[in-house]
Every structure is written in structure tokens, then in C-alpha cells.
Amino acid sequence: MLTTARYTIDSIKDEARQLVEKGALTRQQPIYTLCQYIPAKQWSLVECELEKYDFLLRDSLIDLLAHEEWSCD
């Protein structure tokens, strides 16, 4: 489980990546399946962070894991 009180997009991605690597979740599952591994009281913070980066809870985990930002050269 995420142990920090502050949920950043990077910490959410790290958690998702670890769960996929362990086989607890698959890349095709929706992002909202992460709620099984995050305390219910903290889930709203995770939702807000995901929304800030334009992720929908119905998006697949692969969208979260593969999302990269490119800077202009």
C-alpha cells in the first residue's frame, strides 16, 4: 500500500507498476481497481491527483503506466 499521506502522480504510478509486476493487477484493468490497495479514506486524494492529470478511473492501468510527457527540443 502507499504509505505516504500525500499522493503524487508519481507515487500512484509507482504503486500501480509494483502491483502489475507482482501480478496482483493487469495492465488491462481499469485504474479504479487500485482502490483495493489504497485506504478508503485516502482514495479521494488519489482521485483528485488522477483528475489533475486527465486520467479517468475507467482508463486502463496501461494508460497510467505508459503516460509520458515529452518536452520540446
* Distance of alpha carbon 65 from alpha carbon 5, whole angstroms: 21
Of the chain, the percentage scoring pLDDT greater than 70 comes to: 84
Residue 4: pLDDT band with limits 50, 70, 90? very low
C-alpha–C-alpha distance, residues 24 and 37, integer Å: 10
Q: Which residues form the domain of 33?
A: 9-66
Give pLDDT tens digits for 25-59: 999 999 999 999 999 899 999 999 999 999 999 99
pLDDT score of 60 more than 50: yes
Please state, in angstroms and rounded to a whole number, the distance separating the CA atoms of residues 7 and 21: 20
Structural domain includes residue 3: no
**Domain count within the chain:** 1
pTM of the model: 0.79
Distance CA 64, CA 55 (A): 7
Question: Sorting pLDDT into bands at 50, 70 and 90, what band is 71?
Answer: low
C-alpha cell at 47: 482521485
Q: Is residue 71 part of a domain?
A: no
